[in-house]
Amino acid sequence: MFLHFPWYKGLTIFMLISSGAIVCYGFIAGCMIWGGNANGREIAKNYLLVYLFGFIAIKLLGIAVIYGKNVPSENLTFVIQDALKQQFCQVIIFVIWWLYFKKSKRVQNTYG
């Protein structure tokens, strides 16, 4: 793949590092919540926002880069469809966790 599209290597590295940073942030946020941080609810909500908008931005940037290159239209269509499926799943995950931290009695009892 990198032989036919050398620019794809840089994009792949950027996307992996960006996604890894979001995952690391999630790990740190999870450790802070698990450790009993009094601001656990806010930490979780901030992470959820970073998770949702971070992954959307990464995917949109990837699509924009691919769109600007000489990529066959069927490949571009596949990339866009796959990105939309992934984003839909991430929005569902976001909504479930957001509602949990907003509505859960357990969370209210823990963080007031």
Judge whether 34 lies within some domain. yes
> Mean pLDDT, to the nearest integer, of 26-35?
94
Calculate helix-pair angle for 40-67, 73-103, nearest 10 degrees: 170
Judge whether 81 lies within some domain. yes
Judge whether 2 lies within some domain. no
5: pLDDT strictly greater than 80: no
1: pLDDT strictly greater than 70: no
Judge whether 21 lies within some domain. yes
Judge whether 1 lies within some domain. no
Structural domain containing residue 44: 7-111
Total tally of structural domains belonging to the chain: 1
Judge whether 98 lies within some domain. yes
Instruction: Tell me if 50 sits within 8 A of 22, measured CB to CB.
Output: yes
31, 75, 100, 112 from 103: Cα distances, Å: 22, 42, 5, 12
Judge whether 71 lies within some domain. yes
Task: Select from 61, 29, 45, 36 the least CA-distant residue to 94.
Answer: 45
The pLDDT assigned to 84 comes to: 92
Judge whether 39 lies within some domain. yes
- Taking only the tens place, the pLDDT of each residue in 72-84 is 888 888 888 999 9
pTM, full prediction: 0.81
